Amino acid sequence: MINIGPYKLANSLFLAPMVGVSDKPFREICSEQGAGLTIAEMLTSNTDHWHSEKNRLRREVASINGPRVVQIAGSDPELMAIAARLNADLGAEAIDINMGCPAKKVLKKSAGSALLKDCTKVKKILKAVVACVDIPVTLKIRTGWCPSTRNGVEIARIAEDCGIQLLTVHGRTRECRFRGLAEYDTIVAIKQAVQIPVIANGDIDSAQKAAFVMDYTQADGLMIGRAAQGRPWIFEEISHFLATGSLMHSKPLDEMAQVIEVHLNKLYQFYGEVKGVWYARKHVASYVKQLPGGRQFLTDFHRCQEPQQQSDTLAEYFSLLSVNKEAIAA
């Protein structure tokens, strides 16, 4: 098992801090479905923007397993240190520094994966943040800025020297964004180069793929991103396969419906009924995209304007799925 400072994690499977996805309700659902650690959505280090509704919600405390980890992004060492200290004062139990985001609006501010071009600035930021807080500091990176300049090993060594306690590596460069396949050879090299825990990330979308990546990279853990959308029980599936070598049975429809219903109720409570209905549409679309009749169901679901309508429509859909499944089995 992995420790982050004084915190012993339940397992070595992490939920990625995906902007617009890994909000408080989704982190809680993934934690309930077996994630050992969930990291909050990226928060700007510019505290002038913290009072917006969007950033206020990102700082809401979730009821999760493991420590409360806040991820911050920015390019100014002093502002990053201040943001880290303020989050620690507000109850953060660990700080994660984002040097992996490939989004253009982040790169324009020389933050996220843009920092991988400047090892000197990387060192200044990491030193400033680590020195400013008494809680663990972790780091997320990509393998480099572009395929011809993969400097992940150099960044990893800098991170270790600066006191970073855990490193997550996405197996793509900034230039690759999310295109093509993740490569794991750089993660292998990073794991061999440092003593701190290394978490592998990128294209881990099944229990079998998780086992392959763990074996190939010898990483200390895995971070799951897009594959958890609409399938938060992937953490249970991976844990089971890593422990037993056998696949779990497909999640029963009634259990799947229950998870979705709990998720929707968390969304309504967190965002309010109006915005909760909006956010529910996005998440439910991910849940049903591989299910029979999902497209027609979504047409009806998207017409719903109130939580109860959404709940009733969802229940009716899963009831029909169960009836059809029983008919086919018969």
Beta strand extents in the chain (DSSP E only) = 3-4, 7-8, 13-15, 37-38, 43-44, 69-73, 94-99, 137-142, 166-170, 198-201, 221-224
CATH of residue 84: 3.20.20.70
Q: Give tens-digit pLDDT for 260-289.
A: 999 999 999 999 999 999 999 999 999 999
pTM of this structure: 0.93
Is residue 150 domain-shared with residue 279, that is, in the same domain?
no
- Of 30, 101, 176, 304, the catalytic one is 101
* Domain carrying residue 61: 3-244
Is residue 92 domain-shared with residue 182, that is, in the same domain?
yes
pLDDT for 113 equals 85
pLDDT above 60 for 328: no
Q: Give tens-digit pLDDT for 124-138.
A: 999 999 999 999 999
Does residue 199 contact residue 221 with C-beta atoms inside 8 Å?
A: yes
Query: What CA–CA distance (Å, rounded) separates 247 from 253?
Result: 17
* Average pLDDT estimate for 80-106: 92
Torsion of CA 72, 77, 82, 87, to 10 degrees: 20
Is residue 81 domain-shared with residue 60, that is, in the same domain?
yes
Is residue 235 domain-shared with residue 175, that is, in the same domain?
yes
| Residue 327's pLDDT band (cuts 50, 70, 90) | very low
Is residue 293 domain-shared with residue 180, that is, in the same domain?
no
Is residue 234 domain-shared with residue 257, that is, in the same domain?
no
Q: Give tens-digit pLDDT for 23-78.
A: 999 999 999 999 999 999 999 988 877 878 777 887 887 889 889 999 999 999 99
Is residue 62 domain-shared with residue 196, that is, in the same domain?
yes
pLDDT for 65 equals 84
**Which of 179, 212, 244 is the last residue before a domain boundary?**
244
Q: Give tens-digit pLDDT for 161-216.
A: 999 999 999 999 878 778 889 999 999 999 999 999 999 999 999 999 999 999 99
Is residue 25 domain-shared with residue 73, that is, in the same domain?
yes
pLDDT for 108 equals 75
Q: Which two tokens stand for residue 135?
A: 């809680």
If one counts the domains in the chain, the total is 2
* Average pLDDT estimate for 76-95: 95
Is residue 239 domain-shared with residue 277, that is, in the same domain?
no
**Which of 244, 269, 298 is the last residue before a domain boundary?**
244
Is residue 175 domain-shared with residue 290, that is, in the same domain?
no
Active site residue 101: yes
Query: What CA–CA distance (Å, rounded) separates 234 from 218?
Result: 20
Count the neighbouring beta carbons within 10 Å of the beta carbon of residue 261: 15
Query: What CA–CA distance (Å, rounded) separates 102 from 112?
Result: 7
pLDDT for 126 equals 98
Does residue 136 contact residue 87 with C-beta atoms inside 8 Å?
A: no
Is residue 24 domain-shared with residue 104, that is, in the same domain?
yes
Is residue 239 domain-shared with residue 258, that is, in the same domain?
no
pLDDT above 90 for 101: no
pLDDT for 326 equals 57
* Average pLDDT estimate for 5-19: 94
pLDDT for 330 equals 37
Query: What CA–CA distance (Å, rounded) separates 279 from 152?
Result: 36
**Which of 225, 244, 263 is the last residue before a domain boundary?**
244
CATH of residue 307: 1.10.1200
CA Rg, the chain, in Å?
20
Q: Give tens-digit pLDDT for 248-266.
A: 999 999 999 999 999 999 9
pLDDT above 90 for 329: no
Does residue 220 contact residue 13 with C-beta atoms inside 8 Å?
A: no
Residues 192-216: b if buried by 16+ CB within 10 A, e if exposed: eebebbbbbbbbbebbeebbebbee
